């Protein structure tokens, strides 16, 4: 054995003591010789295992969610783009016959939309719309059965792809359903995890995951992690924890990074950049007096959003109540979709009305063209470019110019037509997002004002001796943020606008514009999603606005339901059966005795019924009613009949001579009351409790006695009394 | 009377029917003639009044707060700038004698810091430090007496101005104390409002105002409304409501707008722009492989922040425990401040060590120079500019270059020296912010890495055939966000960096860098503010991290204090007095009877004592102890003595033959229990309740019986048991 003459432990470890086949250095020997290293390595491995396990519980899950959803989002975009290209190719190559061109323009979206509607509706009945209102309801604690079931996943993905492939013809977006898809995926992954790790099921953890999923949904569509988190929070909930917010950030960043990385890998982009690049002037982006116009724009957007929200709700109600449309929607959704798509597609046929709507642009191109920082009105004042026969990707803005109409005419016509076309599109029962169209619509409002200003002040607004031409694109940016913010009642759309464009030089004016729009919209109309919740009659808990200071003065005692049905432990079975058969609540408060009414816990109706109908374990009682049969046999028939018979025949319980506590002792579980209100709890506190802990109902106890019951119904009524105090008598 | 021949109502209203002095048209007549207009005008006025009143409750307040704080912030900046100019002038004009120059450099900050320390400490004892830890404690529901008293306002403003005027010599910032000043102002305005409108006092409303004030504080210092709101939320609380967040936005936007408007009015700026303008390349801001270095930078910042936080806490503890320094701090704070300032100022003397620390730059210039997008290392590779004798505002970066040291030497030396100098500065008891120095320090870390990369890849990282030189400034931006984020445990510092520079092209890499830094810092060290809370021994409630899923399995019954002292209504006075004199809690649970222990409400100790010592209203009892004297007279002496005597002498209560309920009936108020826990409430729920509703303690009832008590102490212990599960036996 050749020794290197030094017994350095590393040398031993890496097996430098070579040769000597007769005396092989086994791994065990190596370990055995240097206990300190062995201990060290073992320690490091242990530490690594601990660290990975500690980190592992959630963060891996969030990463996986983000990456997976980015892949899906990118794949959808990829497919949609190819489908759009195919449509364009078809439209271009079909020849010059107007009829053929018209048909190729119209049939494609009509087919896609009716397929989207039929396919998704056949799999899941609630696939229409954006899904955000339902998700909001779920996050507030209501259980909507099957809504997050993974079997809807395919329906939503395919349906949404078809919707998106019909692009600007139908003028719908991607965010809402994609958030729903993310939530489905998160719920599914959560269930898988529970099965594999055998972790106990945990409601609040599921909610945390859904919040993160919503952030991922927005972030992977717009590649905007910051606003993804903030918009999802503002739209979804009324309270949030910083912990959820961090997790949302993490997942959203993973998603957005992966989403943009895929574009780079696919050679669409040089590097990771923003989606809608702008090139606004940085030195003096706007002049001080322009702030006034930005706030004015906010006001206009606020008023427009109120009109939009009102008309949208009205039309949705009309479609549902009108005899013809409601019948059509009930019996043949694809037909309704096809008819609506036909109307929309015919109107956007480019050689027809469509040329005044710039309808050859796709959704993304609409936004890109509107954010252009040059003034179109000034550019077309002296020259009059003709309408290009083909879409020119370098000069998208030319689509907006019609010599006979001017820029203003086209923009105004676009706003006028898209107002009702968008409302019509929202009634089509397909998976579709309504955020992006609203964003584009807002951009058009801003652009119109911006162009008007650039004509009114062609030299720019001179301040401090420097001439700064007005950039209409900045108004488009502000308008987009303000209108979408007003419609969804959120402020972080301003941040979204910055993240989508990568420039933040208009920070303050855009924020002021959004605040102005929100001030008007929030005081006049419920948000788009709340409106849908109201129309769809989903349960919701209204807010207590800060100004209703009297919410601190109203106590639970004032508005609780005091007439509650309690079950006493010492109640005879006859009485219990009477209560169970005469009421239909999900759980009963269980009290110590009829006299004391001290709340002990709750009993689920289903479990109580089961216990009542089960044969008593001691057959001594069973003897009385016939040997070997038990109650069930004695009563005979199906469970429904038996229940009725129990209620009808007062002799049965009497002959049994038993009390509720016997039934409970035999195996009907009592659920503990973890939280209870007191009649002195203020409305404000109760509302906070319900919102934060996602509660549905609580019992009210006074000195231990169950005295009442508060659920969303009572809270809603109490809050509406704050808002509209009852007329003085 | 000359009639115009038309009876247009407007004409009447504006008094066009002129002339005819014999028949004057009185206002009443005018009104009387056109009832429809009158009704209209009255309706509009009514509506306006309603609207204004409805809006008025809060929004005016928030606007006033924002505008006022912007004025104060701007005025402070203005004064500080003048003081800095004066110092620079003195230093320049004093001649070439090294001694004189040294003295002029050193004496100015030493005088300012010792004045700042002496002045503010003489007015308010807790004016040192940033104030954010205390505010955080207040927002979690703890009452810190006098901390928000307006009398501290002057001390803080003057002290902070002096601190800032010593600028980069002491290397401290503005945010923390300014947030405290905002909170004081908000609390003061709130008190004024309560007095003028005679609104009932409302704890939760006060908290809302403080949250908004924190946002205004950050926003008016950095003119960054978005990140003002988000940073203040992340640093201050663990839960927040969307409603607070909107109010924060509104107030912060008002503040930031006013703050920047003042610069425009003062002709410092052409228009409203960002504070630290950058000009990063927009097209291809970075190459894909650079993402790796950004994440690496995040890791470095995370590790550095852990080292910084550990050393800072250690040194703070050392200064407090060391015999010499603790004595100095206790007896003569200004002397300690002067000594520390002397050390710091001597080291930054520009012709001495200071030239290797770029110490002629002010705090803002530090950041501005570090964000420069050109590579200094490449610029100095072939040429070797000499150190300018005067600061060159056009080429600030020259300050960082010393021919014998190179850029890398200076940056590394800066990082090394400022590490302990900053820690030393944080121990000086003056009002000072620690956020901005940390931000600048992080920028220097990033700059060092960026310069190294620009030398390692002088051609830039070639991707897709396009050469994109590396911008070290983008690493400085990321480093600043990551290091400050890691030290304060917040992610929105990334957004702050974007808002301060107005560019968002590095959105994803900076966010990933911040996330990496936070991941390391949060798992190893408490945040800067939490560390201060721990060192200052302020009460705090730790978080439950998401991974401790067992927080859902631990019930209140497991960790509550079961040995509580209850007062029964039927207890004889002797017993009550024994309880009151033997325990020192603030309030006692009042139970129905000794036997049933049903919780009825709580009784405050102070009020109970008062009631016990008051003369009984029925003098029939008083007769027994001496006519005309009552208990008080009979017991004699001061309240303290009387209390002792009551406890000592068991005969007194006996002879009175009374029970607690008599005392209660005579006027000792019983406070209702609005919320109560049950032994089955989970730790998670209880923690949420305490955090959201800012509670200090709750009673635990089971079937109405008071069985225990949970306060922060019990919760803390239960949470630490989750984190470090007790060793298995």
List the CATH number of the domain containing A423: 1.10.3080.10
Q: What is the mean pLDDT of residues B564-580?
A: 83
Show the tokens assigned to B118. 């002496």
Query: Cβ contact (<8 Å) for B549 and A202?
Result: yes
Range of the structural domain that residue A373 is part of:
291-535
Domain boundary among A491, A507, A535: A535
Query: Cβ contact (<8 Å) for B549 and A495?
Result: no
Share of chain B above pLDDT 70, in %: 85
Q: How far is B179 from chain A (nearest CA, A)?
A: 20
pLDDT band for position A624 (cuts 50, 70, 90): very low
Q: How far is B678 from chain A (nearest CA, A)?
A: 5
Predicted complex: ipTM over 0.90: no
Contacts of A257 in chain B (CB under 8 A): 291, 508, 512
Candidates B55, B224, B232, B241, partner chain A, best to mutate (most A CBs within 10 A): B241
pLDDT for res B480: 96
Q: Is A674 on the interface with B (CB under 8 A)?
A: yes
Which element (helix H / strand E) includes B707?
A: strand B705-711
Q: What is the pLDDT of residues B700-726, one digit of tens each?
A: 888 888 888 888 888 888 888 876 655
Between B406-426 and B333-347, two packed helices, what is the crossing angle to 10 degrees?
A: 180
What is the torsion angle, in degrees rounded to the nearest 10, for the CA atoms of residue A307, residue A308, residue A311 and residue A312? -160
pTM attached to this predicted model? 0.85
pLDDT for res B628: 41
Query: Cβ contact (<8 Å) for A274 and B54?
Result: no
Same domain, A596 and A655: yes
Domain assignment present for residue A9? The answer is no
Indicate the number of domains in chain B.
2
pLDDT for res B644: 64
Which residues pair with residue A601 across a beta bridge?
A: A590
Show the tokens assigned to B175. 């945010």
Same domain, A329 and A206: no
**Torsion sign across C-alpha atoms B572, B575, B578, B581:** negative
Q: Identify the residue with better confidence: A49 or A339.
A: A339
Provide CB contacts within 8 A for A223, sequence distance 6+: A256, A259, A260, A274, A275, A499, B508
> What b/e sequence results for A568-589 when a residue is b if at least 16 CB atoms lie within 10 Å of its CB, and e otherwise?
bbebbbbebbbbbeeeeeebbb
Burial class (CB in 10 A: 0-12, 13-18, 19+), A297: buried
Average pLDDT, chain A: 83
pLDDT band for position B727 (cuts 50, 70, 90): very low
Query: Cβ contact (<8 Å) for B515 and A249?
Result: yes
CA distance B482 to A70: 25
Q: How far is A540 from chain B (nearest CA, A)?
A: 16
Q: What is the pLDDT of residues B151-175, one digit of tens each?
A: 888 889 999 999 999 988 999 999 9
Phi-psi region of B207 (alpha: psi -120 to 50; beta: other; left: phi over 0): alpha
pLDDT for res A19: 42
- The partner residue sitting opposite A204, judged by closest CB among B504, B547, B552, is B552
Provide CB contacts within 8 A for B648, sequence distance 6+: none
Domain assignment present for residue A729? The answer is no
Domain assignment present for residue A342? The answer is yes
Domain assignment present for residue B212? The answer is yes
Per DSSP, the three-state class of B463 is: strand
Domain boundary among B265, B287, B321: B265
pLDDT band for position A649 (cuts 50, 70, 90): low
pLDDT for res A651: 46
What DSSP string runs through B571-602?
Answer: -BHHHHHHHHHH---SEEEEES-TTT-BEEEE
Residues constituting chain B: 729
pLDDT for res B728: 44
Does residue B467 carry a pLDDT above 80?
no
Average pLDDT, chain B: 83
Does residue B346 carry a pLDDT above 90?
yes
Domain assignment present for residue B709? The answer is yes
Does residue B329 carry a pLDDT above 60?
yes
CB pairs under 8 A between A and B: 262
Strands (E), B569-704: 587-591, 599-604, 675-677, 697-702
Same domain, A224 and A202: yes
- The partner residue sitting opposite B673, judged by closest CB among A546, A549, A678, is A678
Does residue B340 carry a pLDDT above 70?
yes
Does residue A68 carry a pLDDT above 70?
yes
Q: Give the B window 604-623 contacts with A, CB below 8 Å.
A: none
What DSSP string runs through A445-497?
Answer: HHHHHHHHHHHHSTT---BTTB-----HHHHHHHHHHHHHHHHHT-STHHHHH
Burial class (CB in 10 A: 0-12, 13-18, 19+), A443: buried
- Of A395, A487, A475, the C-alpha closest to A436 is A487
Share of chain A above pLDDT 90, in %: 37
Contacts of B242 in chain A (CB under 8 A): 233-234, 237-240
CA atoms within 13 A on the CB side of B560: 27
Q: Is B574 on the interface with A (CB under 8 A)?
A: no
Q: Is A649 on the interface with B (CB under 8 A)?
A: no
Same domain, A238 and A381: no
What's the N-to-C CA distance of chain B in angstroms? 109
Q: Is A680 on the interface with B (CB under 8 A)?
A: yes
- Alpha carbon separation from A698 to A273, A452, A565, A674, A706 (Å, rounded): 50, 57, 14, 10, 11
Show the tokens assigned to A244. 């959820």
Q: What is the pLDDT of residues A392-439, one digit of tens each?
A: 888 888 889 888 888 999 999 999 999 999 999 999 999 999 999 999
Q: Identify the residue with better confidence: B536 or B512.
A: B512
Q: Which residue of A has its CA nearest to B263?
A: A288
Query: Cβ contact (<8 Å) for B242 and A243?
Result: no
Per DSSP, the three-state class of B85 is: helix
Same domain, A137 and A107: yes
Does residue A682 carry a pLDDT above 90?
no
Domain assignment present for residue A4? The answer is no
Q: What is the mean pLDDT of residues A95-122?
A: 91
- Of A426, A497, A495, A438, the C-alpha closest to A305 is A438
CA distance B486 to B445: 13
Q: What is the mean pLDDT of residues A535-562?
A: 77
Query: Cβ contact (<8 Å) for B234 and A242?
Result: yes
Q: Give the A window 282-301 contacts with B, CB below 8 Å.
A: 282-288, 291
CA distance B652 to B650: 6
Q: Identify the residue with better confidence: B285 or A549.
A: B285
> What b/e sequence results for B394-424 when a residue is b if at least 16 CB atoms lie within 10 Å of its CB, and e otherwise?
eebbbbbbbeeebbeebbebbeebbbebbbb
Same domain, A457 and A604: no
Q: What is the pLDDT of residues A307-337, one digit of tens each?
A: 999 999 999 889 988 999 999 988 888 999 9
Q: What is the mean pLDDT of residues A625-630?
A: 43
| HEC letters along A377-432 | HHHHHHCCCCCCCCCCCCCHHHHHCCCCCHHHHHHHHHHHHHHHHHHHHHCCCCEC
Q: Give the A window 534-563 contacts with B, CB below 8 Å.
A: 543, 545-547, 549, 552-553
pLDDT for res B408: 93
Does residue A284 carry a pLDDT above 70?
yes
User: Cα–Cα–Cα angle for B557, B563, B564, nearest 5°?
Assistant: 100
Q: Identify the residue with better confidence: B593 or A259.
A: A259
Same domain, A99 and A205: yes
CA distance B519 to B79: 40
Does residue A583 carry a pLDDT above 70?
yes
Q: Is A678 on the interface with B (CB under 8 A)?
A: yes
Domain assignment present for residue A308? The answer is yes
Query: Cβ contact (<8 Å) for B502 and A499?
Result: no
Does residue B629 carry a pLDDT above 80?
no
Q: Is A437 on the interface with B (CB under 8 A)?
A: no
pLDDT for res A621: 44
| HEC letters along B356-402 | HCCCCCCHHHHHHHHCCCCCHHHHHHHCCCCCCCCCCCCCHHHHHCC
Cα-atom radius of gyration of chain A, to the nearest Å? Answer: 33
Candidates A136, A269, A546, partner chain B, best to mutate (most B CBs within 10 A): A546
Q: Quote the longest CA-to-CA distance of chain A.
A: 109
List the CATH number of the domain containing B654: 3.10.580.10
Does residue A729 carry a pLDDT above 90?
no
Same domain, A515 and A573: no
Q: Is A277 on the interface with B (CB under 8 A)?
A: yes
Share of chain A above pLDDT 70, in %: 85
CA atoms within 13 A on the CB side of B481: 33
- Of A169, A563, A143, the C-alpha closest to A340 is A169
CB B340 within 8 A of CB B414: no
Query: Cβ contact (<8 Å) for A549 and B243?
Result: no
pLDDT for res B259: 93
Same domain, A311 and A246: no
User: Cα–Cα–Cα angle for B500, B228, B538, nearest 5°?
Assistant: 130
Domain assignment present for residue B365? The answer is no
Q: What is the pLDDT of residues A137-148, one digit of tens each?
A: 988 888 887 888
Q: Is B498 on the interface with A (CB under 8 A)?
A: yes
Domain boundary among B265, B282, B297: B265
CA distance A367 to A371: 6
Q: What is the pLDDT of residues A265-280, one digit of tens each?
A: 888 877 778 888 888 8
Show the tokens assigned to B272. 């409203």
Q: What is the pLDDT of residues A146-157, one digit of tens each?
A: 888 888 888 899
CB B380 within 8 A of CB B460: no
Does residue A484 carry a pLDDT above 90?
yes
Query: Cβ contact (<8 Å) for B503 and A499?
Result: no
């Amino acid at each position: 054995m050749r020794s290197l003459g030094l017994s350095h432990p590393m040398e031993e470890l890496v097996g430098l003591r070579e040769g000597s086949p007769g005396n092989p250095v086994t791994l065990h020997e190596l370990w055995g010789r240097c206990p300190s290293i062995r201990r060290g390595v073992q320690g490091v491995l242990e530490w690594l295992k601990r660290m990975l396990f500690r980190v592992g519980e959630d963060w891996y899950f969030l990463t996986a969610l983000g990456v997976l959803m980015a892949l899906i989002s990118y794949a959808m975009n990829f497919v949609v783009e190819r489908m759009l290209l195919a449509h364009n190719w078809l439209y271009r190559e079909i020849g010059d016959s107007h009829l053929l061109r018209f048909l190729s323009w119209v049939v494609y979206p009509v087919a896609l939309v009716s397929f989207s509607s039929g396919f998704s509706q056949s799999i899941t009945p609630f696939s229409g719309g954006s899904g955000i209102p339902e998700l909001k309801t779920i996050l507030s604690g209501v259980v909507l059965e099957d809504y997050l079931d993974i079997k809807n996943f395919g329906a939503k993905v395919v349906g949404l792809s078809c919707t998106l492939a019909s692009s600007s013809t139908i003028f719908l977006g991607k965010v809402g359903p994609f958030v729903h898809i993310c939530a489905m995926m998160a719920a599914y992954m959560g269930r898988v995890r529970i099965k594999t790790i055998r972790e106990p099921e945990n409601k609040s953890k599921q909610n945390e995951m859904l919040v993160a999923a919503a952030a991922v949904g927005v972030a992977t569509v717009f590649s905007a992690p910051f606003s993804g988190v903030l918009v999802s929070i503002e739209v979804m909930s009324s309270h949030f924890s910083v912990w959820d917010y961090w997790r949302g950030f993490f997942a959203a960043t993973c998603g957005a990074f992966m989403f943009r990385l895929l574009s780079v890998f696919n050679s669409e982009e040089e590097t990771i950049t923003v989606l809608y690049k702008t090139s606004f002037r940085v030195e003096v982006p706007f002049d001080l007096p322009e702030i006034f116009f930005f706030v004015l724009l906010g006001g206009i957007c606020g008023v427009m959003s109120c009109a939009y929200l009102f008309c949208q709700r009205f039309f949705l109600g009309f479609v549902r109540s009108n005899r013809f449309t409601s019948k059509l929607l009930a019996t043949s959704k694809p037909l309704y979709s096809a008819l609506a798509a036909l109307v929309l597609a015919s109107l956007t046929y480019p050689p027809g009305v469509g040329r005044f709507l710039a309808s050859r642009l796709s959704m993304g191109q609409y936004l890109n063209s509107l954010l252009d920082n040059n003034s179109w009105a000034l550019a077309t004042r002296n020259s009059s470019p003709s309408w290009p026969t083909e879409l020119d990707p370098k000069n998208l803005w030319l689509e907006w110019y019609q010599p006979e109409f001017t820029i203003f005419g086209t923009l105004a016509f676009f706003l006028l037509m898209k107002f009702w076309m968008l409302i019509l599109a929202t009634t089509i029962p397909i998976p579709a997002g309504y955020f992006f169209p609203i964003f584009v619509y807002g951009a058009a409002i801003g652009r119109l004002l911006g162009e008007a200003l650039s004509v009114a002040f062609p030299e720019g607004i001179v301040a401090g001796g420097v001439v700064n031409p007005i950039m209409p694109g900045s108004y488009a940016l502000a308008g987009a943020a303000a209108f979408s913010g007003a419609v969804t009642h959120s402020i972080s759309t301003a941040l979204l606008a910055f993240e989508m464009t990568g420039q933040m030089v208009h920070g303050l004016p855009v924020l002021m514009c959004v605040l102005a729009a929100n001030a008007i919209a929030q005081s006049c109309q419920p948000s788009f999603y709340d409106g849908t919740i109201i129309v769809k009659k989903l349960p919701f808990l209204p807010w207590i606005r800060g100004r209703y200071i009297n919410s601190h003065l109203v106590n639970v005692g004032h508005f609780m339901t005091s007439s509650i049905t309690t079950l006493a432990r010492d109640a005879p079975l006859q009485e219990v059966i009477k209560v169970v058969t005469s009421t239909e609540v999900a759980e009963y408060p269980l009290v110590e005795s009829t006299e004391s009414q001290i709340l002990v816990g709750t009993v689920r109706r289903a479990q109580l019924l089961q216990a009542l109908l089960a044969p008593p374990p001691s057959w001594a009682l069973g003897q009385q009613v016939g040997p070997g049969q038990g109650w069930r046999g004695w009563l005979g028939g199906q469970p429904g009949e038996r229940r009725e018979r129990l209620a009808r025949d007062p002799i049965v319980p009497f002959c049994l001579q038993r009390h509720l506590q016997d039934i409970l002792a035999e195996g009907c579980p009592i659920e503990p009351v973890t939280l209870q209100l007191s009649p002195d709890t203020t409305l404000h506190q109760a509302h906070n409790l319900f919102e934060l802990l996602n509660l549905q109902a609580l019992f009210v106890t006074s000195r231990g006695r169950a005295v009442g019951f508060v659920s969303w119904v009572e809270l809603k009524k109490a809050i509406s009394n704050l808002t509209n105090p009852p007329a003085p008598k």
